[in-house]
A and B are shown apart, each in its own frame.
Chain A
Amino acid sequence: MARAVTTQTKVGNTVVAWIIALLIFFPILYTIITSLKTEQEAIAGFSLIPSFTFESYQAVQSQNDYFKPFMNSVILAVGSTILALIVAIPAAWAMAFNPTKRTKDILMWMLSTKMMPAVAVLVPIYLIFLNTGLMDTRFGLTILLMLINLPIVVWMLYTYFREIPGEILEAARMDGATLWGEIWYVLTPMAVPGIASTLLLNIILAWNESFWTIQLTTTNAAPLTAFIASFSSPQGLFWAKLSAASTLAIAPILIMGWFSQKQLVRGLTFGAVK
């Protein structure tokens, strides 16, 4: 009896999980399907079966260079993430292992910057970029993306580091480890999974950031998000081409996500499941 209930529950959970997963994935799936349609099919209405033509991909390729925005995306996403980690690791260590009365407030204050819509600071940042010559430069955008994601990176790392019992670090100290030895032999190996999933998640966030990358670039530093946007032109929407561009833009990150999904799941559920 008990076993029957368990099996039923399991089947039910699986079905619900699949429905939710399909609902979430559907926009991406439909984008891919649409990218394989002709423009006429694309406007014609809802249909799940494309004619499997690659003409949109060819059109997109000939109309706009894919390689340059792709490289820009890689540089911005990876560069901003590594910079963020360099700043966030010491910050998170300090807050996790030597907290003060104000640590919680500082964390909350950091997070609060993410509660503000980006457009609220568009004008000041736009002006800063304009006046310092950072407009449409990879350097400026890398720094900006780093700053935007920094609160999340610090929060994630802080959560991981907090899970590492302080007594283990103290044991290393008692065992004669110097600060460097403590960090290299004990802290880092224990924190590697957390650092890795923070890195992966942040690359995804930076890759998909589209507000600032579109506002502050024209050609030189434009990443794939701007590449997509260039296909929604005022002359009329070309659904199939837009979808093909989107598919090309998300493909690299989708592939990376697929191969690192174990890390990501662990990263996103770390505090909750243990």
Chain B
Amino acid sequence: MGKIQLRDVNKSFGATNVIPKVNLDIENGEFVVFVGPSGCGKSTLLRLIAGLEDTTSGTISIDGRDVTGEAPAKRKLAMVFQSYALYPHMTVAKNIAFPLKMAGEDQAAIDKKVSEAARVLNLTNYLERRPGQLSGGQRQRVAIGRAIVRQPSAFLFDEPLSNLDAALRGTMRLEISELHHQLGTTMIYVTHDQVEAMTMADKIVVLNAGNIEQVGSPMELYRSPRNIFVAGFIGSPKMNLVEGPPAEKHGAKTVGFRPEHIAISTTEGEYQGKVGVAEHLGSDTFVHVHTDALGTMNVRADGEIPVHHGDTVWLTPDPAKIHRFGKDGLAL
């Protein structure tokens, strides 16, 4: 089981209030991603759940049990750190076995669980190596192995992929998602990368300066961002946000057009502009268009389109997919 509840959780470091007040429910078996810009308090929130930091006020409960004052060891959570935090003086086998040893399990059971975890994670041939003799991806898998053997009630990941190169990050992302399907255990995953959030999460929690901006499924956040911050943060490339007359025309302070919801044409359309940079990726084309009415707009077109630097083009936002925001920044 792994149902986690945060009630009025507040955290200050000295005079700096990092997490003003957070209320959050995480259901059993959910894959929850905390996403937000660097320094917004994602790690702090995760460490509060882990018990590595004490709350200043508020309560945290796991499966209905108040754990606010409990030591990390008692909470039955496993954590994978950004730096992997493997024990450098122990072999891979000893690293994975460590939580079991601390739990006082007998050696035969430990050996069985370690070899099973090693098999799942493709580490069988590396069990006698030290962490220093492994690649980044392998170290990451050892860290995950150490987390899964104890069958925790939830897994906590703090930016586990940010030290890996792009290709490996993609593979590990799939492996972690796969693991979640296999185990069905609650996972809380912290990242600043909205692509990771969108691809892995059942539920995304968007954080900004210690406040929860919005909670929802990836598609909910994509389709109906609650405010300008979420609109700008979720989606890649970023949503184009425009103020002034074009927004007033739609009865809003700010309007947002997603790059993929703008039609681009070399002959006709709503707004005229000149192509700055056109990035041709084959599968997509990203075009930066300088317009008089809207400023610089990012546009994404499917496949290959014949536009180049200096061309005159016309942009037409899809009227059904325009996001409107009021003076307070909230969606209208």
Contacts and interface: CB of A to CB of B under 8 A. Distances in A.
- Which secondary structure dominates where chain A touches chain B? helix
Contacts of A165: 83, 85
B99 A173 contact: no
Interface residues of A, number: 17
A174 B78 CA distance: 6
Contacts of B82: 167
Contact of A168 (B85, B102, B103): B85
Contact of B72 (A174, A181, A190): A174
Nearest to A188: B89
A12 interface: no
Contact of B77 (A171, A174, A177, A190): A174
Given A167-B81, A167-B83, A170-B81, A175 B89 contact: no
A62 B142 CA distance: 66
B186 to A, nearest CB: 15
A61 interface: no
Interface of B: 50, 52, 71-73, 77-79, 81-83, 85-89, 98-99, 102-103, 146, 150
Given A165-B85, A167-B85, A176 B102 contact: yes
A232 interface: no
Top 3 closest A-B pairs, CB basis?
A: A171-B85, A175-B99, A176-B102
15 contacts: A168-B87, A170-B52, A170-B85, A171-B79, A171-B81, A171-B85, A171-B87, A174-B72, A174-B77, A174-B78, A174-B79, A176-B99, A178-B102, A181-B102, A186-B87
Nearest to B52: A170
Contacts of A170: 52, 72, 79, 81, 85
Nearest to A170: B52
Nearest to A173: B72
Interface of A: 165, 167-168, 170-178, 181, 185-186, 189-190
A171 B80 CA distance: 8
A98 to B, nearest CB: 13
Given A168-B87, A175-B98, A176-B73, 4 more contacts: A167-B85, A175-B78, A177-B102, A190-B88
Given A181-B102, A185-B98, A174 B50 contact: yes
Contacts, number: 58
A181 B243 CA distance: 59
A177 B100 CA distance: 10
A169 B14 CA distance: 23
Nearest to B82: A167
A37 B76 CA distance: 74
A183 B155 CA distance: 24
A170 B78 CA distance: 11
Contacts of B52: 170, 173-174
Contacts of B88: 168, 190
A178 B99 CA distance: 11
- Which secondary structure dominates where chain B touches chain A? loop
A170 B82 CA distance: 12
A267 to B, nearest CB: 18
B134 to A, nearest CB: 16
B81 A175 contact: no
Which of A172, A174, A190 is the most central at the interface, judged by chain B CB atoms within 10 Å of its CB? Answer: A174
Contacts of A181: 102
A172 B81 contact: no
A189 B130 CA distance: 14
Contacts of B85: 165, 167-168, 170-171
B99 to A, nearest CB: 4
B142 to A, nearest CB: 11
Contacts of A178: 73, 102
Contact of B73 (A167, A173, A189, A190): A173
B30 to A, nearest CB: 20
Contacts of B78: 174-175
Nearest to B104: A176
A190 B103 contact: no
Contact of A175 (B71, B83, B146): B146
A35 to B, nearest CB: 45
Nearest to A171: B85
A178 B102 CA distance: 8
Contacts of B73: 173-178
Given A167-B81, A185-B98, A176 B103 contact: yes
Nearest to A168: B85
Contacts of B150: 175-176
A171 B81 CA distance: 8
Nearest to B102: A176
A186 B87 CA distance: 7
A188 to B, nearest CB: 10
B79 A172 contact: no
Contacts of A171: 79, 81, 85-87, 146
Nearest to A189: B89
A190 B78 CA distance: 22
Nearest to B78: A174
A168 B98 CA distance: 12
A195 to B, nearest CB: 14
Contact of A172 (B71, B83, B98, B103): B98
A177 B99 CA distance: 8
Contacts of A174: 50, 52, 72-73, 77-79
Contacts of B81: 167, 170-171
